[in-house]
Structure 1
Amino acid sequence: MTSTSNKSRLAIIFFTVFLYLVGFGVVIPIIPLLSRNFGATALQTGLLLSVYSLMQFLFSPFWGRLSDRVGRRPILLFCLVGEAISYIIFAQARTLEWLFIARILAGFFGASLSTASAYISDITPKHERSKGMALIGAAFGLGFVFGPALGGGLAVWGHAINAEPHFDTSFAAYWVAGLCLANFLFGLKFLTESLTEKSESAEKKKRFSVMWHYLNVKTVGTLMSVFLLTSLAMSSMEATLILFMGEKFGWDIKQVSFGFAYIGIIIVFTQGFLVRRLLPKWGERKVLRLGLALFAAGLTCIAVSVNIPMMALAMTLLSLGNGLSNPSILGSISLLSDSKEQGAAMGVTQSMASLGRIIGPAIGGALYGYVAMTAPFWVSGLLAAAGLALVINIYNHIPEHGRAEQNGV
């Protein structure tokens, strides 16, 4: 496979993931509004968000393992159709129970994002692996920047067309379904199969035995634990930042949304540009160590911020840190895993991130409400620091392909 062909396939998988994340981001501002209209409590609204991550935690290894056996392309295409169906159900939902069914299905099919990471593993050489993983992160960042803004805009547009109850949110959800179907047609035409050697043993292991296996693999298990810690730290911060900014600086949802957009833009810049420049010079080890140090510093800086410039510094540090560390972790895990089991390895890794997104908001909310409003950020900083300590402990076992291959070592 030529370098030009691989770049074209990377661009296609980037665009596929980006469109998927835009669709996911569209419903984020809609869910609280719609659930409130259906009489949901704050807890039920939170559960609507958490159940998506729960399904990803449970089924990321399933889709990844299945893609090792049948190929990446059919899994990605099938799940895009499933996503479209879940958003049609979301648009039609008129009770809280049906909203939960829609979000459960969306999480089930959305867990196939681990297959996109495996696709990257298949088509990138070792010295390009972590840079390839950075494309997934950039697509995530862009999706979260544009998705919520698009969702709010579609809901406003829908309300202008028809002021009947629920029309605005249904209108936006139908657009997401259409986006998923358009993504399916795009993938059907342009997405080629990346898996050259299928694994017959992939189907023989049960979900939790697969997870337990990888968590006990030297270095790989530690890196997956680090990914869990960073996900816990990030999701705890995200769940409480709006409360913190409102109480400390008088910001409302609009201003905090701009703050999250800023985080997304910095992550996109870091993973789309900076990582690709630093990895050939420094390699995965140094980039990962720097990223976790900046991430821990940024989270801690939130807790001590007394004005907006300090908060801007905190947001910049944590965004740079997150953008540098994630692709280095994913790339290293991919490099250390068997080429026939990339889907399974990426599935377990994404499950760790999903587990963090399930637990993190609850931890952050409890700390904020029962300890102190700065407590979630102190604890998140400590979680990131713990991840850094784990990385330092296994430092010499982390691959250096990004630097070594580039320099001809």
Structure 2
Amino acid sequence: MARPKPAIIFIFITLFLDIFGIGVIVPVLPKLVEQLQGGDVQAAAHSVGWLGALYALMQFLFSPVLGSLSDRFGRRPVILFSLLGSGIDYLVLAWAPTIGWLYLARAVSGITAANFSAASAYIADVTPPEKRAAGFGMIGAAFGLGFIAGPAIGGVLGHYGLRVPFLVAAGITLLNWLYGAFVLPESLAPENRRPFHWESAHPLKALHALTRWPLVSALAGTHFLTMLAGNIYPCLWVLYTGHRYGWESRQVGISLALVGVLAAIVQGGLASRILKVIGERRGVFVGLIAMAVAMTCYGAAPLGWMVYGIIVIGSLAGIGSPATQSIISRAVPADEQGAVQGALNSITSVSGILAPLVWTSLFSVAIDPKHSFGIPGLPFFMAGLVSLAAALLAWRAFRRSPVVEGQVS
């Protein structure tokens, strides 16, 4: 079995490159869709939304399958399979002659997007319970760093051709797959493997299976509401800051880079230090309250420069997610980590399907002159309430299932 530190470093690199590959195509995918649809901006916007929903739907349906397969055959083959699928997806996107090929590529990519659930299970395998919050925090740090570098480089590469970023993303992902094929050790010990059952791989049954652990099922609800609130950023950030503050791509890029830097700092090391002092259960509440305060402030801020200060406050929300995941991982046996992480990834996918519909629709109503609202920040106020609802669910969960830090519930 791999020693914890080298294994986590590899997983960190893998996830960073994965997010980097996704980020590289973010600035150019809408333009490519527009090009393939003859320059029709309205049709392109519609298609981009459906492409995102299709990706999230495939994740929802197949994450439990791949999570359960990782419990049967190990984390290594699932991670390598997902990397290979992502690399092929980018190549298809690079050479897609019609919009239909983009839908096919996004569906395949959603099916193979098991990196996060398998990586979470890998971390649970190779880290002792008291260090899992730090391990899960590295996932957030990888996301933050990839989120900084990917869109910036993708925007530069897009000047040389809309398809160039896709080729670069494919090359990086496939090189990472090749590296992992030679280097990545297996983390799941043979004695901790279990037979594959379709019942645990069915997305709805996988979610229902979480009810076997009351603490896990309750915190799964917290996880869902947290993801639903947090997904307001990719759905609405550009539209909201452009409408309310007149921000252009430069200001948007600077603000998103700050979000990424702070996410890397908080989840890459600061979160684990804070959690050692206050404990994981309190860490869940600190993260969710920080998110609720930040969302409320975003909705109320009358001037654009205030947003940068709010981003700093909002970065403390990054404490909550690794704390929640650590508690959940300690509440289930070693041979079911993959299935549970797959179910959580499905919950994340459901939030990814619903969030664009909820937040963009609410924003449209909030700024519509036909209505009397006139409150462009209304979606952020609602996201703040959702964050508080998540905290309430966590509070009820801890009251019903008391946990001693570092022990399994």
Do Structure 1 and Structure 2 share a fold, with TM-score over 0.5?
yes
**Cα offset for 1:187?**
0.9
The residue aligned with 2:226 is 230
Aligned residue for 2:197, secondary structure, equals helix
Per-residue CA deviation, residues 87-146 of structure 1 (Å, 9 max, x unaligned), is 111111021110111111111111342101100000000101111111111111111111
Of 169, 176, 197, 1:176 maps to 169
Structure 2: how far apart are the matches of 1:291 and 1:79? 30
Structure 2: how far apart are the matches of 1:400 and 1:326? 19
C-alpha spacing 1:300/1:400, structure 2 compared with 1 (3 Å): farther
CA RMSD of aligned residues (A): 1.8
Structure 2: how far apart are the matches of 1:289 and 1:319? 14
The residue aligned with 1:163 is none
Code of the residue aligned with 1:228 in structure 2: it is F
Structure 2: how far apart are the matches of 1:139 and 1:238? 17
Matches within 5 A, 1:6-25: 6-25=4-23
The residue aligned with 1:140 is 143
For the Cα contact (< 8 Å) 1:69–1:203, is it kept in 2?
Answer: no
Of 133-142 and 105-114, more deviation after overlay is shown by 105-114
Structure 2: how far apart are the matches of 1:21 and 1:398? 36
**Cα offset for 1:399?**
4.3
Of 306-315 and 175-184, more deviation after overlay is shown by 306-315
The residue aligned with 1:281 is 277
Q: TM-score, normalised by structure 2?
A: 0.91
Code of the residue aligned with 1:109 in structure 2: it is T
The residue aligned with 2:294 is 298
Matching of residue 28 in structure 1 with residue 26 in structure 2: yes
Structure 2: how far apart are the matches of 1:391 and 1:130? 17
C-alpha spacing 1:59/1:398, structure 2 compared with 1 (3 Å): farther
For the Cα contact (< 8 Å) 1:35–1:96, is it kept in 2?
Answer: yes
Of 344, 349, 357, 1:349 maps to 344
The residue aligned with 1:66 is 69
C-alpha spacing 1:398/1:144, structure 2 compared with 1 (3 Å): farther
Structure 2: how far apart are the matches of 1:376 and 1:46? 18
Matches within 5 A, 1:9-408: 9-39=7-37, 40-156=43-159, 159=160, 168-196=161-189, 197-205=191-199, 206-207=201-202, 208-215=204-211, 217-321=213-317, 323-371=318-366, 372-396=375-399, 397=401, 399-401=403-405
The residue aligned with 1:165 is none
**Cα offset for 1:200?**
3.0
Per-residue CA deviation, residues 219-263 of structure 1 (Å, 9 max, x unaligned), is 101111111111111112431222221122110123112211211
Code of the residue aligned with 1:345 in structure 2: it is V
Aligned residue for 1:225, secondary structure, equals helix
Structure 2: how far apart are the matches of 1:238 and 1:81? 26
Per-residue CA deviation, residues 285-318 of structure 1 (Å, 9 max, x unaligned), is 1111111110110001111111234322322222
Per-residue CA deviation, residues 176-222 of structure 1 (Å, 9 max, x unaligned), is 11111110122122210000034333324241212211156301011
Q: Which runs of 5+ in 2 are unaligned?
A: 38-42, 367-374
Structure 1: how far apart are the matches of 2:313 and 2:34? 35
Code of the residue aligned with 1:346 in structure 2: it is Q
For the Cα contact (< 8 Å) 2:296–2:380, is it kept in 1?
Answer: yes
**Cα offset for 1:49?**
2.1
**Cα offset for 1:17?**
1.1
C-alpha spacing 1:59/1:204, structure 2 compared with 1 (3 Å): closer
The residue aligned with 1:164 is none
Aligned residue for 1:41, secondary structure, equals helix
For the Cα contact (< 8 Å) 2:286–2:316, is it kept in 1?
Answer: no
For the Cα contact (< 8 Å) 1:237–1:380, is it kept in 2?
Answer: no
Aligned residue for 2:312, secondary structure, equals helix
Structure 2: how far apart are the matches of 1:170 and 1:204? 39
Structure 1: how far apart are the matches of 2:339 and 2:272? 26
Give the total of aligned pairs.
391
Code of the residue aligned with 1:263 in structure 2: it is V
Code of the residue aligned with 2:239 in structure 1: it is L
**Cα offset for 1:398?**
6.0
Per-residue CA deviation, residues 255-278 of structure 1 (Å, 9 max, x unaligned), is 112211211111111101211211
Structure 1: how far apart are the matches of 2:78 and 2:145? 23
Q: TM-score, normalised by structure 1?
A: 0.91
Structure 2: how far apart are the matches of 1:374 and 1:140? 26
The residue aligned with 2:372 is none
Q: Which runs of 5+ in 1 are unaligned?
A: 160-167
User: Aligned residues: percent identity?
Assistant: 35
Code of the residue aligned with 2:197 in structure 1: it is E
Per-residue CA deviation, residues 138-188 of structure 1 (Å, 9 max, x unaligned), is 1111111111112112222xx2xxxxxxxx122221111111111012212
Code of the residue aligned with 1:254 in structure 2: it is R
